[in-house]
Amino acid sequence: MKREAGFRLAAVAGSVAKSVQAAVDDLPAAQREAIRLAYFDGQTYRQVAETLGIPEGTAKSRLWLGLRRLAARLQAEGIEA
Amino acid sequence: MNDGHAAVTELLGAWALHACSVEESATVEDHLAGCPACAAEADRLGRAVAGLATTVAVSPSARLRGAVLAAAVARRPAAGEEASSGYATWVDRFDTLLQSLTPAQWRERVIHDLTVQDLVAHLIATDELLAAQLGATDTEAPEDPAELDGGLPARRSAAAIGEHRGRPPERTRAAWRAQADRLLHDAGEPGSLDREVRLADPRLPRQPLRTALVQRLFETWIHTDDIRTVLGSPPDPPNERQVAMIVAFGVRLLPAALRLAGADRPPRSARLVLVGPAGGDWTISPAVQGAPARPPDATVTMEAVEFCYLLGNRRDPDSVPHRVEGDPAAAATLLRAATTLGCD
């Protein structure tokens, strides 16, 4: 006999995805684009730098700052307590 | 040293996104082992990346090597004292709950047709499998894995349930509590936490006592939760560090659980992304350590606390909220193996 996860938990999982999406949408465009290339397209930071025509150091710091902002926002919303 | 620190700080974002070279990753991971500040930052960034996983419908990059965050987790100081105090916390909570029960509530059916009293007797039996090893002297002959009996916990449990039926519930509670206190006392002896012991299922590889205590914490929480659910009390989940310990326990033993389930032929692997507090990102492969790594066949994403319930066999692999990308069979195999790591 297992307890069903139920709608509440499914709704929680869905709302997490929605909050993360909103947090990503609110990132500065330059950081969002760098993260998109690294995470969704699987580029290394060197490839990100090349794609965007920016120095490698800038690519590294955009990834870092974008993730930090994302982490802080999710933490503030209690998603990553 | 300072130069190394600055270089690593710069790389942390790219590293968390698996977007630096293998050599750079190794440099970062070596640094994290000795720098708590960077390790904490890496942890935060890793959770943001785990959060990203909930928003994608496609596998995020075939290049992912996975296991990178797991390496950071594995390098954290081992949680010996923490496992012991976490278990003590749940012993207290379970005891408080039991002491609040009316005679009628002790007879309520909780799960698998067991009453509350049956469930406590079952817990006495599984705790005893560990407690007996601590009382024993240290040297035991190495066992032949083929002779280890996977049916042992169920038989012990059935015997204890039979023994306690008809006794006053208070005696069952007191017997459980006294044994749990002895267990905690023995675990507090110098050097005990590193001692290798058998888990409830003796077929799993022997583990340091610290890991076995996480299993005790885990089972005591699950049964507290079982009873609270029947009573209609709101859930009282483990805190973030306790969830992290349970997750680490599951991740550590999943490869062995897959092998026990005969799910290692063919040796499919899966990437497990857990989101929420105590989340992380691991690649689980039934291959023995040292075997060549291969890209995961599937990615499974779910919340960390839901994963704990799954480990406790309190969620159905089909209905637990999760997302699968890649080979559904590899994902299903992983989820089914996870449900065998509880103590039912």
Q: Of B109-118, B126-135, B145-154, B262-271, which gets the smallest average pLDDT?
A: B145-154
Interface of A with B in 17-56 (CB under 8 A): 17, 20-21, 23-24, 35, 38-45, 48
Enumerate the residues of chain A whose CB falls inside 8 A of the CB of residue B12.
64
What six digits make up the tokens of B320? 């637990």
Residue-wise burial string across A25-50, b where 16 or more C-beta atoms lie within 10 A, e elsewhere: eebeeebbbbbbbbbeebbbbebbbe
Enumerate the residues of chain B whose CB falls inside 8 A of the CB of residue A67.
13, 16-17, 45, 48-49
Residues in chain A: 81
- B147 burial (CB, 10 Å; 0-12 / 13-18 / 19+) is exposed
Q: What is the mean pLDDT of residues A12-41?
A: 80
What six digits make up the tokens of B297? 């066949």
Cβ contacts of A17 within 8 Å, gap of 6 or more: B54, B55
Per-domain residue ranges of chain B: 3-54, 78-236, 243-341
Q: Is the pLDDT of residue B27 over 90?
A: no
Interface of B with A in 5-34 (CB under 8 A): 9-14, 16-21
Q: Of A46-60, B43-57, B149-163, B321-335, which gets the smallest average pLDDT?
A: B43-57
Under the banding of pLDDT at 50, 70 and 90, the label for residue B226 is: very high
What six digits make up the tokens of B72? 């950071």
* CATH for B243-341, options being 3.40.50.300, 3.30.1050.10, 3.40.228.10, 1.10.150.120: 3.30.1050.10
Distance, CA of B235 to CA of B305 (rounded, Å)? 12
Segment (H or E) for B110: strand B109-111
Q: What is the mean pLDDT of residues B36-40?
A: 83
Enumerate the residues of chain A whose CB falls inside 8 A of the CB of residue B277.
80-81
CB of B44 within 8 Å of a chain A CB? The answer is: yes
**Sign of the dihedral defined by the CA atoms of residues B300, B304, B306, B312, in that order:** positive
Q: Is the pLDDT of residue A71 over 70?
A: yes
Q: Is the pLDDT of residue B205 over 70?
A: yes
Q: What percentage of residues in chain B have a pLDDT greater than 70? A: 83
Higher pLDDT, B294 or B119: B119
Q: How far is B81 from chain A (nearest CA, A)?
A: 23
> Are the C-beta atoms of A28 and A78 separated by less than 8 Å?
no
Chain B nearest-CA residue for A32: B52
Q: Of B104-113, B117-126, B160-169, B263-272, which gets the smallest average pLDDT?
A: B263-272
Higher pLDDT, B24 or A50: A50
3-state percent breakdown (helix, strand, coil) of chain B, nearest 5: 60, 10, 35
> Are the C-beta atoms of B38 and B9 separated by less than 8 Å?
yes
* B261-287 pLDDT tens trace: 877 666 678 889 888 767 788 888 776
How many CB atoms within 10 Å of residue B113? 8
Q: Is the pLDDT of residue B150 over 80?
A: no
CB of A1 within 8 Å of a chain B CB? The answer is: yes
Instruction: Give the neighbor-by-neighbor strand order of the sheet with B280-284.
Output: B280-284, B270-275, B298-303, B323-326
What pLDDT score does B2 carry? 45
Query: Is there a contact between B47 and A44 if contact means CB atoms under 8 Å apart?
Result: no
How many CB atoms within 10 Å of residue B331? 25
> Are the C-beta atoms of B228 and B236 separated by less than 8 Å?
yes
Query: Is there a contact between B10 and A57 if contact means CB atoms under 8 Å apart?
Result: yes
> Are the C-beta atoms of B45 and A67 separated by less than 8 Å?
yes
Closest listed residue to residue B121, CA positions, set B250, B112, B85: B112
What six digits make up the tokens of A43? 């580029």
Strand residues in B288-344 grouped as ranges (E): 298-303, 323-326
Q: Which fold has domain B78-236?
A: Four Helix Bundle (Hemerythrin (Met), subunit A) (1.20.120)
How many CB atoms within 10 Å of residue B22? 8
Interface of B with A in 232-261 (CB under 8 A): 240
CB of B141 within 8 Å of a chain A CB? The answer is: no
* B298-324 pLDDT tens trace: 899 988 888 999 999 998 888 888 888
Query: Is there a contact between A35 and B21 if contact means CB atoms under 8 Å apart?
Result: no
Enumerate the residues of chain B whose CB falls inside 8 A of the CB of residue A5.
306, 315-316, 319-321
Q: Indicate the average pLDDT of chain B.
A: 82
CB of B112 within 8 Å of a chain A CB? The answer is: yes
**Sign of the dihedral defined by the CA atoms of residues B203, B205, B206, B207, in that order:** negative
What pLDDT score does B117 carry? 97
Q: Is the pLDDT of residue B1 over 80?
A: no
Helices (H) and strands (E) in chain B, counts: 13, 8
What pLDDT score does B256 carry? 87
CB of B2 within 8 Å of a chain A CB? The answer is: no
Q: How far is B236 from chain A (nearest CA, A)?
A: 15
What pLDDT score does B283 carry? 82
> Are the C-beta atoms of B220 and B184 separated by less than 8 Å?
no
Q: Is the pLDDT of residue B69 over 60?
A: no
Q: What is the mean pLDDT of residues B57-71?
A: 39
Place of tokens 């990834």: A63
DSSP B263-310: TTTTT--EEEEEESTT-EEEEE-SSPTTSPP---SEEEEEEHHHHHHH
Phi, psi (degrees; rounded to nearest 5) at B310: -65, -45
Q: Of A25-39, B74-88, B125-139, B239-253, which gets the smallest average pLDDT?
A: B74-88
Query: Is there a contact between B49 and A67 if contact means CB atoms under 8 Å apart?
Result: yes
Closest listed residue to residue B258, CA positions, set B197, B316, B340: B340
